[in-house]
């Protein structure tokens, strides 16, 4: 339950033991074999860590991941173990949203759990509506900082009707408050078997739920595998009812909290732990399981705990810890059993991925002209075994019409297993830009280095640029020269042109027609704007003439010969008018017989 490391954990433990002092005086369908999710099945097994994980030699454990009920900007990944970040919620969000963004940006692709047992008064202790709102703020802060991160709900203590009622209120309030389905990348639950009774030992009543009792499990039920399976299936069924079957489910905390004085001796704890491993590894159900993982019900799980000393008693021993939490931090018998089980699942594999792609480009991209690009690529091996080398890379350019061409190539040296070191390289090339493009870096494109999964070897960088010339207004100004019959009237034609695209354009042509021209009639005149930057506007003007006074219709077209391939041609012309009015000459009126002065 990880109340852990402090007063709340000890309060709950004391409550259990106080009451107990008075009281005391089958497997699912097989799903063997690796999947694309976890090619080495030992990586599904994890642990909860209370102390400093650096104190322990974890090589005998063969675990794949861990939690420590906190966050970290500088990840520690002993023996290649993944770390799941946990944000605490409730009275406040810890760490702050600003800190969360900073950590997420520094650690792309991390798994984030929002809260720890928010349904438990001994833990984050949040009303469901408050949790929904805090989850919303955290989710979008994380995705803003790192769109590649995975966000999970905080695990409720156990999937009982009371806890699912609490989750229903979270789900419904989120929909009502924000007008969208609650976005969850990974679902998460804890799977303890504890009494739900107000004011008694166990996990109490969820905050905001009007009840005095729920599941009245007894002490001897704490390792009941029937209840254990029922709760997991209930949670998967709840997910399916919410349209969430096609999401992974992790169990980020479960285990045995009771000591041998309550009947939980070493052999009983060992049998339970191994039985849960068998169940998690093999239980499937096509109606509620995760399709991408062979319909397994659970994708990853974390045993509680690696080293929690909270229930160590002077008189009795709690056998659930895998390591001694005090120097010399030795592995315990249960840790040996954990390692023996996980070690048998290890499958060596290499998994090469382009982890980061940073593109340097010119400040201004000019339509139809070559531009220089530099890509900074970081390559990782996310497998559990060092790769061969060298590892080649290719940079491809793809356009919207499906055209593709290789523009650069390079290589990095062999890589150690995950978290033991990356490799960085730089690729440079030139491309002529006329439309949106994707630059795609592919690692190990020919499969020359043996690896388990080739489907994650490419990473794309979209270059979202386009050309779009818009003619916004057209008009003309009469010169004011007096009209002389038989002569044309000078006018000045003007058109306001805007570059509505994201590419600078040279030599922008604008042509003018007077009166509705015939289909093949030549324009009355054209002018060229030498350079029009993206987002800028300019006035094209031309001196011309009309053949008579009066109102004349005027049409202007930008890029009349379609020299520029544009996102839209519908805004390339505009209509206007010009009034060419003659100046009149007034002579003095003379009386008959009078002479001019």
CATH number, domain of 282, equals 3.20.20.80
Q: Does residue 333 contact residue 271 with C-beta atoms inside 8 Å?
A: no
Q: Using 50, 70 and 90 to split pLDDT, how confident is the model at 103?
A: very high
- C-alpha–C-alpha distance, residues 450 and 465, integer Å: 37
By the 10 Å C-beta count (0-12 exposed, 13-18 middle, 19+ buried), 482 is classed as: exposed
Residues 480 and 401 in one domain: no
Query: Do the domain assignments include residue 177?
Result: yes
Residues 132 and 242 in one domain: yes
With residue 365 as reference, give the H or E element that holds it. none
Residues 6+ apart with CB under 8 A from 542: 492, 493, 512, 525, 526, 527
* Res 312: pLDDT: 65
Average pLDDT over the chain reads 90
Residues 395 and 325 in one domain: no
Residues 411 and 479 in one domain: no
Q: Any idea which of 22-36, 162-176, 267-281, 575-589 has the lowest mean pLDDT? A: 22-36
* Res 12: pLDDT: 42
Query: Do the domain assignments include residue 4?
Result: no
Provide the whole-model pTM: 0.82
Average pLDDT over residues 557-582: 90
Residues 110 and 196 in one domain: yes
Pairing of strands 300-304, 45-48: parallel
Residues 341-351 have pLDDT tens digits of 999 999 999 99
Residues 480 and 536 in one domain: yes
* Res 515: pLDDT: 72
Query: Do the domain assignments include residue 20?
Result: no
Residues 121-169 have pLDDT tens digits of 999 999 999 999 999 999 999 999 999 999 999 999 999 999 999 999 9
Residues 163 and 312 in one domain: yes
Tokens representing 447 are 């499969």
Residues 510-540 have pLDDT tens digits of 999 987 655 567 898 999 999 999 999 999 9
Annotate 151-204 with DSSP letters as a single string: EEEPPPS---HHHHHHHHHHHHHHHHHHSS----SBEEEE------BTTSSSS-
Tokens representing 439 are 């630059």
Residues 237-261 have pLDDT tens digits of 999 999 999 999 999 999 999 999 9
For residue 374, give the nearest of 411, 440, 429, 441 by alpha carbon: 429
* Domain span at 148: 45-343
Query: Do the domain assignments include residue 27?
Result: no
Query: Do the domain assignments include residue 14?
Result: no
Strands (E), 75-155: 82-87, 111-114, 150-153
Residues 261 and 140 in one domain: yes
Q: Using 50, 70 and 90 to split pLDDT, how confident is the model at 588?
A: very low
Residues 388-443 have pLDDT tens digits of 999 999 999 999 888 999 999 999 999 999 999 999 999 999 999 999 999 999 99
Query: Do the domain assignments include residue 25?
Result: no
* pLDDT(304) > 70: yes
* pLDDT(78) > 90: yes
For residue 209, give the nearest of 89, 113, 120 by alpha carbon: 120
What are phi and psi for residue 296, nearest 5 degrees?
-60, 150
- Token look-up 């789900």 returns 171
* Res 480: pLDDT: 62
Residues 449 and 561 in one domain: no
Query: At 549, which CATH number?
Result: 2.60.40.10
Residues 356 and 328 in one domain: no
For residue 269, give the nearest of 305, 318, 210 by alpha carbon: 318
Residues 197 and 240 in one domain: yes
Among 326, 343, 360, the domain-final residue is: 343
Q: Does residue 94 contact residue 132 with C-beta atoms inside 8 Å?
A: no
Residues 163-187 have pLDDT tens digits of 999 999 999 999 999 999 999 999 9
* Res 310: pLDDT: 76
Query: Do the domain assignments include residue 587?
Result: no
Among 437, 463, 489, the domain-final residue is: 463
Q: Per the structure, how many domains does the chain have?
A: 3
Q: Using 50, 70 and 90 to split pLDDT, how confident is the model at 106?
A: very high
- C-alpha–C-alpha distance, residues 525 and 530, integer Å: 17
- C-alpha–C-alpha distance, residues 45 and 63, integer Å: 5
- C-alpha–C-alpha distance, residues 373 and 361, integer Å: 5
Bigger pLDDT: 545 or 143?
143
Residues 320-365 have pLDDT tens digits of 999 999 999 999 999 999 999 999 999 999 999 999 999 999 999 9
Query: Do the domain assignments include residue 16?
Result: no
* pLDDT(7) > 90: no
Beta bridge partners of residue 300, listed in sequence order: 250
* pLDDT(6) > 50: no
Residues 401 and 483 in one domain: no
- C-alpha–C-alpha distance, residues 319 and 268, integer Å: 9
> In b/e form, how buried is each residue of 309-340, taking b as 16+ CB within 10 angstroms?
ebbeeeebbbbbbbbbbeeeeebbebbebbbe
* pLDDT(490) > 50: yes
Among 343, 367, 384, the domain-final residue is: 343
* Res 402: pLDDT: 86
């Amino acid at each position: 339950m990880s109340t852990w490391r402090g007063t709340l954990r000890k309060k709950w433990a004391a409550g259990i033991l106080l009451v107990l002092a008075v009281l005391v005086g089958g497997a699912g369908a097989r799903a063997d074999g690796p999947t694309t999710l976890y090619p080495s099945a030992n990586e599904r097994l994890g642990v909860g860590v209370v102390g400093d994980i650096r104190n322990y030699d974890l090589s005998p454990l063969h675990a794949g991941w861990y939690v420590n009920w906190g966050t970290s900007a500088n990840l520690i990944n002993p023996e290649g173990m993944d770390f799941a970040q946990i944000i605490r919620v409730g009275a406040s969000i810890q760490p702050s949203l600003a800190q969360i963004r900073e950590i997420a940006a520094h650690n792309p692709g991390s798994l984030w759990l929002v809260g720890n047992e928010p349904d438990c008064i001994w833990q984050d202790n949040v009303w469901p509506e408050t949790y929904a709102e805090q989850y919303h703020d955290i989710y979008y802060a994380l995705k803003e900082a790192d769109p590649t991160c995975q966000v999970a709900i905080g695990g409720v203590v156990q999937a009982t009707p009371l806890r699912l009622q609490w989750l229903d209120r979270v789900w419904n309030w989120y929909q009502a408050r924000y007008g969208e389905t609650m976005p969850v990348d990974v679902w998460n639950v804890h799977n303890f078997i504890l009494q739900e009774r107000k004011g008694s030992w166990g996990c109490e009543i969820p905050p905001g739920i009007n009840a005095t009792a729920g599941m009245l499990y007894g002490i001897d039920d704490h390792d009941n595998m029937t209840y254990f399976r029922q709760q997991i299936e209930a949670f998967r069924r709840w997910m399916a009812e919410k349209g969430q079957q096609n999401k992974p489910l992790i169990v980020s905390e479960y285990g045995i909290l009771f000591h041998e004085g309550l009947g939980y001796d070493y052999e009983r704890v060992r049998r339970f732990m191994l039985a849960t491993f068998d169940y998690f590894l093999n239980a499937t159900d096509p109606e509620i399981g995760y399709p991408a993982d062979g319909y397994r019900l659970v994708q990853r799980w974390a045993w509680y705990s690696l080293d929690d000393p909270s229930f160590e008693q002077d008189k009795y021993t709690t056998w659930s810890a895998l390591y001694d939490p005090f120097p010399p931090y030795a592995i315990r018998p249960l840790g040996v059993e954990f390692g023996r089980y996980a070690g048998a699942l290890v499958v060596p594999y290499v998994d090469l991925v382009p982890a980061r792609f940073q593109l340097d480009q010119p400040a201004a991209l000019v339509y139809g002209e070559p531009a220089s690009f530099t890509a900074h690529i970081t390559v990782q091996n996310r497998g559990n075994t060092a790769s061969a080398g060298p590892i080649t890379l290719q940079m491809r350019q793809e356009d919207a019409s499906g055209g593709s061409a290789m523009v650069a190539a390079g290589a990095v040296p062999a890589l150690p297993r995950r978290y033991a070191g990356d490799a960085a390289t730089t690729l440079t090339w030139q491309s002529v830009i006329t439309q949106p493009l994707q630059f795609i870096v592919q690692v190990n494109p020919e499969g020359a280095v043996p690896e388990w999964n080739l489907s994650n070897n490419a990473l794309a960088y979209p270059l979202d640029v386009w050309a779009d010339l818009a003619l916004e207004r057209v008009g003309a100004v009469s010169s004011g020269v007096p009209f002389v019959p038989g002569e044309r009237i000078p006018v000045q034609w003007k058109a306001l042109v805007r570059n509505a695209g994201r590419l600078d354009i040279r030599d922008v042509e604008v042509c003018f027609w007077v009166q509705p021209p015939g289909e093949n009639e030549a324009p009355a005149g054209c002018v060229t704007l030498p350079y029009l930057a993206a987002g800028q506007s300019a006035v094209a003007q031309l001196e011309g003439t009309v053949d008579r006074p009066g109102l004349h219709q005027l049409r202007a077209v930008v890029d009349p010969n379609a020299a520029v391939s544009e996102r839209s041609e519908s805004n390339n012309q505009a209509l206007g008018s010009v009034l060419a009015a003659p100046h009149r000459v007034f002579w003095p009126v003379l009386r008959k017989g009078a002479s001019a002065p």
